[in-house]
Amino acid sequence: MPTPDRPIWIKDPLSILTDGAERGVVVDGGRVVELVGRGKQPVARDVAVCDASAHVVLPGLINTHHHFYQTLTRALPAAMDRELFPWLQALYPVWAKLTPAYLDLAVTVAMSELLLSGCTTTTDHHYVFPAGLEYAVDIEVAVARRLGLRVLLTRGSMNRSQRDGGLPPDSVVQDEQTILADSARVVAQFHERGDTAMVQIALAPCSPFSVTTSLMRATAALADRLDVRLHTHLAETEDENRFCEQLHGCRPLDYLEDCGWLNGRTWLAHGVHFNAAEMQRLAKAKTSISHCACSNQLLASGCCPVCDMEDAGVAIGLGVDGSASNDGSNLIQEVRSAFLLQRARYGVTRVSHKDALRWATEGSAACVGRPELGRIAVGKMADLALFKLDELRFSGHGDPLAALVLCGAHRADRVMVGGKWVVEDGAIPGLNVADLIRRHSAAAAAMSGII
């Protein structure tokens, strides 16, 4: 493989998701430095060549909503065939058994699965902190650095338990003072500034039904003071809307605004049940939405009105959501799911495969506040995903780019983050997948009481 100490020419791709780069791109110093057009040679000298003639080249996909720890509770019988609230009630007691070792395994599985699906940047929303797991974010940072994945990790929180009228049991919540203190700690310790940042931190109370108004407001104030982003679930289900109206006397977006959250720092997971006026307010505030197509379908939460939101001016990204409600961490498959769901809603003239790819790249970059990501252009970060079309599912394809979405790509052949190869020949160098599966599966069985 070419080494990153020389410019790399990713040469003559089968297809590439940008204009004017028919002969590929040159990357150097972690950035795209040149687009090589049809019939041209690179201006850069002494380039190492990566033959991409069998590859479709995409900007690295960006995952804007996930819960890594949930890889330990995939397809759990106790939680199957339930809507959101009873689904959560079935899973909280299992999640309360999380340990640092279990979380390390869960995060490694989630991040590896994402990388292998062409994802180069991911968020995570970790909000479960049973005793002994106080340093959950630290564990996630260590895994990300080990694998070379770019991350925006959110310090999630819950402080409204069952005794306070919330859903989670007392064992997984923390008090407001503890939450705010640790939020400040992880930002100070891990948050990197600038467009080359590999680790960033955001603050993320779980949802209106699992945190207090005091914590929502205090978190918004802290994010403003520390200059970091905000994230939460909102308008995912009609049950949530009714809960918010009963508890706070208003709809979720009104409550969000009252708490100081309706601004450009904030991106929201789901956004299924906003009305037209609320979409206009989101756009005006520059608050963006993570569309989680697979999760919304599995939990029968509804369908996010993506095209209506974009027409209103709201930025839309994609999120795989937690592996207990998807039940995977495959972002290129999420692209296909979002394409099919929105095509069914809006019709063939409104939604194309390029729209779905745009949501997972430029749209997701807007959600996480990283304009230097999500596009293949000179000066942008060299985060790239290369896919081969050599499986039976692609045989007979016409348009290579469309084939990724329409024929159901599921695994990248090569992935580059900041100019460095982190996936080669469909594998993560140095990762023993069989051993990881064995240990992760044993942890999942122990947590769920299967053994």
Q: What is the mean pLDDT of residues 288-312?
A: 96
Question: Is the pLDDT confidence value at 163 over 90?
Answer: no
Task: Output the pLDDT for position 450.
Answer: 61
pLDDT category at 1 given cuts 50, 70, 90 is: very low
Q: What does 6-67 look like in DSSP terms, one character per residue?
A: S-EEEES-SEESSSS-TTEEEEETTEEEEE--TT---SSSSPEEEE-TTEEEEEPEEE----
Query: Could you give the CA distance from residue 117 to residue 282 in angstroms, rounded to a whole number?
Result: 30
pLDDT category at 274 given cuts 50, 70, 90 is: very high
Task: Output the pLDDT for position 166.
Answer: 76
Task: Output the pLDDT for position 258.
Answer: 97
Question: Is the pLDDT confidence value at 434 over 50?
Answer: yes
CA dihedral (289, 294, 296, 302) positive or negative: positive
Select the more confidently predicted residue: 117 or 171. 117
- Averaged pLDDT score across all residues of the chain: 95
User: Is 83 contained in some domain?
Assistant: yes
DSSP β-ladder status, 199-205 and 150-157: parallel
Question: Is the pLDDT confidence value at 5 over 90?
Answer: no
Task: Output the pLDDT for position 295.
Answer: 95
Query: Could you give the CA distance from residue 387 to residue 390 in angstroms, rounded to a whole number?
Result: 9
Check which CATH number belongs to the domain holding 251 and give it: 3.20.20.140
Question: Is the pLDDT confidence value at 336 over 90?
Answer: yes
Q: What is the mean pLDDT of residues 213-238?
A: 97
| Partners of 289 in the β-ladder | 268, 316
3 state DSSP class of 315 = coil
> Which domain does 97 fall in, by range?
61-367
User: Is 411 contained in some domain?
Assistant: no
Task: Output the pLDDT for position 239.
Answer: 85
Share of the chain above pLDDT 90, in %: 89
Question: Is the pLDDT confidence value at 48 over 80?
Answer: yes
Residues in CB range of 438: below 8 A, 6 or more apart: none
Task: Output the pLDDT for position 451.
Answer: 45
Question: Is the pLDDT confidence value at 3 over 70?
Answer: no
Q: What does 159-186 look like in DSSP terms, one character per residue?
A: ---GGGT-SS-GGG---HHHHHHHHHHH
Q: What is the mean pLDDT of residues 255-280?
A: 97
User: Is 56 contained in some domain?
Assistant: no
> Mind spelling out the 3-state secondary structure of 246-265?
HHHCCCHHHHHHHCCCCCCC
Distance of CA 327 to the CA centre of its chain: 14
Task: Output the pLDDT for position 85.
Answer: 85
pLDDT category at 2 given cuts 50, 70, 90 is: very low
Q: What is the mean pLDDT of residues 195-208?
A: 96
Q: What is the mean pLDDT of residues 340-368?
A: 98
Task: Output the pLDDT for position 412.
Answer: 98
3 state DSSP class of 275 = coil
Q: What is the mean pLDDT of residues 252-265?
A: 97
User: Is 179 contained in some domain?
Assistant: yes
pLDDT category at 164 given cuts 50, 70, 90 is: confident
Cβ–Cβ < 8 Å for 37, 20: yes
Question: Is the pLDDT confidence value at 214 over 80?
Answer: yes
> What total of structural domains would you count in the chain?
1
Share of the chain above pLDDT 70, in %: 99
